[in-house]
Amino acid sequence: MSIVFVIDMDLQAFNQRILPVRGRLFRMAQLFLRSREEAEDAIQDVFLRLWSNRHQLETYQSVEALAVQMTRNICLDRLKSHQKQKTSGEVDLSAFQADAASPYRELEISDNNLLIKRLINELPDQQKLVLHLRDVEEYTFEEIEEVTGMSVNNIRVILSRARQKLRANYVKENDYESGY
């Protein structure tokens, strides 16, 4: 009976430490895999691996950083194994929409959202990951450093380049004047 109690305590501790980051992990997986079903499968793999190694989780400084790194690696492995081409992703930009927009404005916002999603997915994987972690998940530079193993200075450079490329491509797509 005490064995069951220990297992229940492990399950409770696991649920308290891992389940709160499920949403972040799922959004990141969906960003990479561009499919809800693929992302769910990837997250299940992450949870299975974390559960299998639950007795060693205490040795990690940040279990969340470990889970993010595992999610990233599993997604990249899945992309390699499926040999997928880069296509439009699933970054949720609907929060930028106005509440009472005219139909014309709603169409414009929708077109801009699709354009931004496409432009983000055209970024190199490293830039896409850093941009997602910083601007979507709102990780600190130190948290991104833990997840990626890159230095904070390198992260800043990658983020800056990603934003510059995104901005330049957005302006180019919308035929704005080059001096803007």
Whether 46 has a pLDDT exceeding 80, the answer reads yes
Mean of the per-residue pLDDT values for the chain? 78
Whether 171 has a pLDDT exceeding 60, the answer reads yes
Element (H, E) at 86: none
Inter-residue contact 47 to 18 (CB < 8 Å): yes
Calculate mean pLDDT across residues 100-115: 76
Q: What percent of the chain has pLDDT over 70?
A: 79
Q: Residue 145: how many CB atoms within 10 A of its CB? A: 17
> What is the model's pLDDT at position 176?
58
Closest CA to 52 of 1, 4, 18: 18
Which residues make Cβ contacts (< 8 Å) with residue 67, sequence separation at least 6?
18, 21, 25, 46, 50
Calculate mean pLDDT across residues 41-47: 91
Whether 165 has a pLDDT exceeding 90, the answer reads yes
> What is the model's pLDDT at position 44?
92
Inter-residue contact 109 to 96 (CB < 8 Å): yes
Closest CA to 135 of 112, 118, 158, 108: 158
Inter-residue contact 69 to 89 (CB < 8 Å): no
Calculate mean pLDDT across residues 52-64: 81
Cα–Cα dist 20/154, whole Å: 29
DSSP strands (E only) in the chain: none
Calculate mean pLDDT across residues 98-114: 71
In the numeric block, which tokens belong to residue 81?
A: 């194994």
Calculate mean pLDDT across residues 72-85: 74
Q: CA–CA distance from 131 to each of 18, 38, 140, 148, 173 (Å)? A: 23, 21, 12, 12, 20
Domain range list for the chain:
1-84, 101-180
| Topology of domain 101-180, CATH | Arc Repressor Mutant, subunit A (1.10.10)
Whether 4 has a pLDDT exceeding 70, the answer reads no
Correct CATH for 1-84 of 1.25.40, 1.10.1740, 1.10.3470, 1.20.120? 1.10.1740
> What is the model's pLDDT at position 101?
59
> What is the model's pLDDT at position 162?
93
- Tell me whether the CATH fold assigned to 1-84 matches the one assigned to 101-180: no
